[in-house]
Amino acid sequence: MEVWDRVKIVRARNRPTAMDYIDNIFGEFMELHGDRNFSDDKAIVCGIARLNNVNFTVIAEQKGRNTKENLLRNFGMPNPESYRKSLRFMKQAEKFNRPIVTFIDTKGAYPGVGAEERGQGEAIARNLLEMSRLKVPIIAIVIGEGSSGGALAIGVGDKVLMLENAIYSVLSPEGYASILWKDSSRAKEAAEVMKMTAEDLYEFKVIDKVIKEPNGGAQKNIKEVSDAIKEEIMNCYNDLKNIEKTKLIELRYNKFRNMGEYKKIGVEGNVVTK
């Protein structure tokens, strides 16, 4: 399958959203709100969920399916309030020793003037710093688009999983084409050279496992994909739960520090090469 076909699958209107997975995976979910500073930005949903008698803190980037929902969710592009809300509840998870699950699905952090004025860059950087040293297990799952710092801000996980048709990259193909070639219409070409698929990222050891999807994408059988995610969450939790806290932080730090040593990616002309 061409990379652009995967891009179209993850951008499909009927693609399952984070809340679809939360509803199908967890027996109970209680949403929590607000960053206690500015507002409750709804591009990220936070809450406490229960699975197999284990309490999890869930942080999820949420898109809409129609104009009304997209306006409510800011088209899945978080403002800094979302990242500060996320951090608030991640720190709460640490206080009560709850493992954290994040669902990543965004075109990127919202680039508006207001977001920049309220410290978008600082909010993302703060999350990266704080997540790197949280004393509880973190499981990050890329379910759709995972673009730029908007995705990374909730992506510092002890285990990073990715759905088969999801994409994960430094920016969108359109953004890449605009910057490199000054022509966003070359997005399809950009997608092919960005090495953004689950298979590519597993090879580079950026992610730990690829979760299979039915032919045509997760939208063809959300229960099947939800069951697979549920199984992987529990497998990851069982692998991580008994690791001593300081060791957990050390392993997480080394995981991300050593990533670049596995594969060197360079740019020769206009082509990304391994």
The DSSP call for residue 263 is: -
Identify the pLDDT of residue 1: 84
User: Could you read off the pLDDT of 2-12 as tens digits, one per residue?
Assistant: 999 999 999 99
DSSP per residue, 15-76: S--HHHHHHHH-SEEEEE---SSS---TTEEEEEEEETTEEEEEEEE---SSHHHHHHHGGG
Distance from the Cα of residue 113 to its chain's centroid: 24
Has residue 269 got a pLDDT over 80? no
Average pLDDT over all residues of the chain: 92
d(CA 185, CA 177): 7
- The CATH number of domain 3-273, selected from 3.10.110.10, 3.90.226.10, 3.10.150.10, 3.30.70.100: 3.90.226.10
User: Could you read off the pLDDT of 158-207 as tens digits, one per residue?
Assistant: 999 999 999 999 999 999 999 999 999 999 999 999 999 999 999 999 99
User: How far is residue 226 from each of residues 22, 32, 66, 190, 219, measured CA to CA in Å?
Assistant: 9, 22, 23, 30, 11
Has residue 113 got a pLDDT over 80? yes
Has residue 266 got a pLDDT over 70? no
Question: 273 pLDDT band (50/70/90 cuts)?
Answer: very low
Burial of 181 (0-12, 13-18, 19+ CB in 10 A): middle
- pTM of the entire predicted model: 0.92
Q: Which residues contact 238 (CB under 8 A, 6 or more apart)?
A: none
pLDDT top residue among 267 and 48: 48
Which residue from 200, 199, 203, 171 is spatially nearest to 187, judged by alpha carbons? 171
Give CB contacts under 8 A, 24+ apart, made by 261-264. 262/204, 262/205, 263/203, 263/204, 263/205
The stretches of the chain forming alpha helices (DSSP H) are 3-10, 18-25, 67-73, 80-95, 113-117, 120-132, 148-152, 173-181, 187-193, 198-203, 222-240, 245-257, 259-262
Has residue 108 got a pLDDT over 60? yes
User: Could you read off the pLDDT of 208-259 as tens digits, one per residue?
Assistant: 999 999 999 999 999 999 999 999 999 999 999 999 999 999 999 999 988 6
- Say if CB 35 and CB 81 are below 8 A apart: yes
Whether the CA torsion 8, 124, 49, 28 is positive or negative: it is negative
Phi-psi region of 40 (alpha: psi -120 to 50; beta: other; left: phi over 0): beta
User: Could you read off the pLDDT of 26-82 as tens digits, one per residue?
Assistant: 989 999 999 999 999 999 999 999 999 999 999 999 999 899 999 999 999 999 999
